[in-house]
Amino acid sequence: MSFFAKPVPTFAGHARGLSHRSFLRLCLLPLAVVAAAFFLLPMVKLVIVGASGETGLSAYAAIVTQPRYRATLINTVLLAAATTAASLAIATIAGLFLQRHRFPGRAVLVAMLTFPLAFPGVVVGFMIILLAGRQGLVGELTSRLIGEKLVFAYSIQGLFLGYLYFSIPRVILTIMAAIEKLDPALEEAARALGAGPWAVHRDVILPALVPAFVASGAIAFATAMGAFGTAFTLATNIDVLPMVIYTEFTLSANIAMAAALSVGLGLVAWAMLALSRSLTGGTIAAAG
């Protein structure tokens, strides 16, 4: 499709100097240059490099064929899925509570729950260390209460908590917005027909929230799949895909493999976010 094919709807005339049409082209020029040079071109290069290793195109299949990568993929998917499910559940319970009741301190609670939205993954990792690391809060409390110091920041539980830490704020914002848009008449109609609170939730509220669940769940899943900073800080020996890509590139100098894995990861994340966009029309950035 030619960039200039479609006629610009308005201006037929031209003032002295630049015509409107040329001006618009000029407006888009920097964007075109930046996007092409620093995004499109590198992406293409990435795909090519991924196929240029010693195994050629089969590097792309390695993500499922080679046991090591397959295990990593499964790990990452399971972790992302668990994070998504848990944060949706938590966000729904907390979100319904916060939207349905007004009480002093509510605004503070909401701020506390959405504040970590801006934390980079590294900081999240540090938060988990402070909670459950070797000198963490949990360790102190448990050593006083049960005599044994509980440390789990550097295990899969710690990683899971870290993922939860950056997922909850994202998900809860979307869920709360959806709850606000619920039609109260639907709940009243169900109550008029005799439905108690549990039935109202099961038959009216939760089904109405399903689009929000899918949309925010897809974002949470994509973010968790691509999260790097958190795993990096927690220095776990749990393999997640982004860490494997990192080590392949920096330590093993297995560039083609790293590239191929990156493309695979990118495709999965993009597909999830495209799904979410098609259902709502908005996205929150993945960052973690």
Q: How far is the CB of 161 from another protein (least distance, A)?
A: 8
Q: How far is the CB of 120 from another protein (least distance, A)?
A: 4
40 or 74, CB closer to another protein? Answer: 40
41 or 57, CB closer to another protein? Answer: 41
Residue 255 and residue 247: Cα distance in Å, rounded? 10
Residues 6+ apart with CB under 8 A from 121: 162, 166, 227, 228, 229, 230, 231, 232, 233, 287, 288
Q: How far is the CB of 280 from another protein (least distance, A)?
A: 10
Q: How far is the CB of 82 from another protein (least distance, A)?
A: 16
74 or 115, CB closer to another protein? Answer: 115
81 or 246, CB closer to another protein? Answer: 246
Residue 229 and residue 232: Cα distance in Å, rounded? 5
Instruction: Write the DSSP symbol of residue 116.
Output: G
Three-class SS string for 175-215? HHHHHHCCCHHHHHHHHHCCCCHHHHHHHHHHHHHHHHHHH
Taking CA atoms, 181 is separated from 120, 167, 172, 282, in Å, by: 30, 22, 14, 16
78 or 193, CB closer to another protein? Answer: 193
Q: How far is the CB of 64 from another protein (least distance, A)?
A: 18
